[in-house]
Amino acid sequence: MRKYFFFLAFILVACVNNGDDGSTDTGGGLPAATHVPEITGFALSPDTATYMDGDGTIVVTAEVSVRDTGLDIQTLWVRMPDGTTVELGVSLATETGTFTKDIPMPTNQIGALSVEFWLKDAAGGSSDPVTVPFHVVADVQVNDWTNRVSGLPYALNDVVWDGSFFIAVGNGGLVLTSADGIDWAERESATDANLNAVAACGPDIMAVGDGYVVLLSTEHGDTWVTKVSASGSYSNVLAIACNSTQVVIGGFSYGLAAPFINISEDRGDTWHYVGTWHPAKVAAPADLIYSNGLFITVTTRVDPGLNEPWIVLSPDGWSWNSIPVLDWPVDFYTIIHDGNRFIIAGENSTVLASFDGFNWTELQTPGADVIYLSAAWNGSKLVLAGGSDSPSEPPLGIASIDSGVTWEVFNIDGNYESRGMTFGNGHFVSVGQSAPLSGEGAIYTAE
């Protein structure tokens, strides 16, 4: 045993006295600690730009908050949307701090572009990368609309862009699809029920309608299968939204005189009733959205005795909370998330906004006799359109690029009523009917 301790002591003394590695000794025989830099906060300003053809660029400012106990940050590395990398020098005299760098960003490709940032120090250590979206949007002039389809036998009620195709649905089971928003083809939907809403659920498209109809397409709306149909039940599905695992539908049962919310977690094979809301038997869901971790539906009054409008929301699709948003009667018909806030709109030109879905603020809008039925957002511009409360007034649309502080007023075409709207492939696409009560469907795009 003594020989063992003597031999161990000899090894330790030899290691300590090794002059080649003495610079890394910390006094306890352990290697010196490394200090990898850390990105603690990041922001791009602006984070959205308007599309410019050719070699268009815009200079954006990256504001980076960091922590580095080694005080030896040297460079900020940027991987641009095209895969190239840019190296920028950085110097920071304190353990925590913030610096800014100007970066030329390409604007010749429409869409959400990914930009990756990371730090390197003098010892070669790298921070974890941070990926930031940068949006390039088309400069769409919403006062210039072009009629693409008219004279359809039925009105259209909703439209969605699934990333590759537009899919529009309407009364009488009417379905049309388009790759560019300009040329449209009618598709067989396997139903003659009125289709009220459509949603893109990952690779699937789902449409819902009267008679508790739920349809599924796995081919961008080209072909459809019926998941549920209860014709004659007097239960109409009016709205649909989905996330990665759930599909939620909302409707109204005229037989029971009550609204309903149902949920499916197997893409429509089985459905579960998850309840209604207070006040029961007086409000029907008009539109549904899933965004920012919330399902939210806006409601319209079925019973004229309902004096205050409600939104109903859920963080999981199963439990729902009812929240009054005004203390006077207004029907709301559409809801959208603009990347920052939820926006709801309805009759009497009423528009409300909320950051969290619980607290709502009314936005000032031009006009007084508009019923907003549709909404769309292209990354920088919010567009609302619909019909008119007054037979003598044409339906007006409004658009804003400053969160509703100021509005641009437009008319799509005469007495055309916009019932659904989306943005994709560089176009705002509106679907609806040629005039109130005309029953003839039409499609317009803004270039």
Q: What is the pLDDT of residues 261-282, one digit of tens each?
A: 999 999 999 999 997 665 555 6
Identify the CA nearest to 437 among candidates 417, 423, 421, 420. Answer: 417
Say yes or no: 206 and 88 in one domain: no
Q: How sure is the predictor about 223, in pLDDT bands with cuts at 50, 70 and 90?
A: very high
Say yes or no: 55 and 152 in one domain: no
Say yes or no: 166 and 232 in one domain: yes
| pLDDT on residue 232 | 64
Residues 148 and 444 sit within 8 Å (Cβ to Cβ): yes
In the numeric block, the tokens 């649909």 are attached to 240
Residues in the chain: 447
Q: What is the mean pLDDT of residues 43-67?
A: 81
**Cβ count near 92 (within 10 Å):** 19
C-alpha–C-alpha distance, residues 444 and 440, integer Å: 13
Say yes or no: 440 and 351 in one domain: yes
C-alpha–C-alpha distance, residues 436 and 145, integer Å: 19
Residues 12 and 25 sit within 8 Å (Cβ to Cβ): no
The identity of residue 237, as a single letter, is V
- DSSP-assigned states of every residue in 137-168: E----TT-EEEEEEEESS-EEEEEE-SS-EEE
Highest mean pLDDT among 74-88, 97-111, 128-142, 410-424: 410-424
Say yes or no: 184 and 153 in one domain: yes
Of 99-103, 231-235, 356-360, 374-378, the range with the lowest mean pLDDT is 231-235
Say yes or no: 256 and 375 in one domain: yes
Read off the CATH number of the domain in which 350 is found: 2.120.10.10
Average pLDDT along the chain: 86
Percent of the chain predicted with pLDDT > 90: 55
Bridge partners for 186 per DSSP:
176
Whether residue 292 is predicted with pLDDT greater than 70 in this model: the reply is yes
Contacts of 18 (CB under 8 A, 6+ apart): none
Of 51-65, 66-80, 314-328, 417-431, the range with the lowest mean pLDDT is 51-65
Count CA atoms within 13 Å of residue 44 on its CB side: 22
C-alpha–C-alpha distance, residues 113 and 263, integer Å: 33
Say yes or no: 235 and 345 in one domain: yes
In a domain, 336, yes or no: yes
C-alpha–C-alpha distance, residues 408 and 50, integer Å: 18
Whether residue 134 is predicted with pLDDT greater than 90 in this model: the reply is no
In a domain, 47, yes or no: yes
Read off the CATH number of the domain in which 133 is found: 2.60.40.10
In a domain, 78, yes or no: yes
Say yes or no: 257 and 120 in one domain: no
Count of domains in the chain? 2
Highest mean pLDDT among 5-9, 107-111, 386-390, 391-395: 386-390
Q: Which domain holds residue 340?
A: 145-446
Q: How sure is the predictor about 305, in pLDDT bands with cuts at 50, 70 and 90?
A: low
| pLDDT on residue 3 | 40
Residue at which a domain ends, from 137, 160, 192: 137
Say yes or no: 56 and 183 in one domain: no
In a domain, 124, yes or no: yes
In a domain, 28, yes or no: no
Residue at which a domain ends, from 111, 137, 163: 137
Residue at which a domain ends, from 137, 167, 198: 137
Say yes or no: 102 and 164 in one domain: no
Say yes or no: 116 and 242 in one domain: no
- DSSP-assigned states of every residue in 74-94: EEEEEE-TTS-EEEEE----S
In a domain, 12, yes or no: no
In a domain, 30, yes or no: no
Residues 46 and 62 sit within 8 Å (Cβ to Cβ): no
Quote the longest CA-to-CA distance of the chain.
108
Bridge partners for 346 per DSSP:
332
Say yes or no: 122 and 216 in one domain: no
In a domain, 229, yes or no: yes
Question: Encoding tokens for residue 238?
Answer: 């009016």
| pLDDT on residue 277 | 64
Of 124-138, 157-171, 404-418, the range with the lowest mean pLDDT is 124-138
- DSSP-assigned states of every residue in 39-54: EEEEEEES-EEE--SS
Cis peptide before 106 (omega within 30 of 0): no
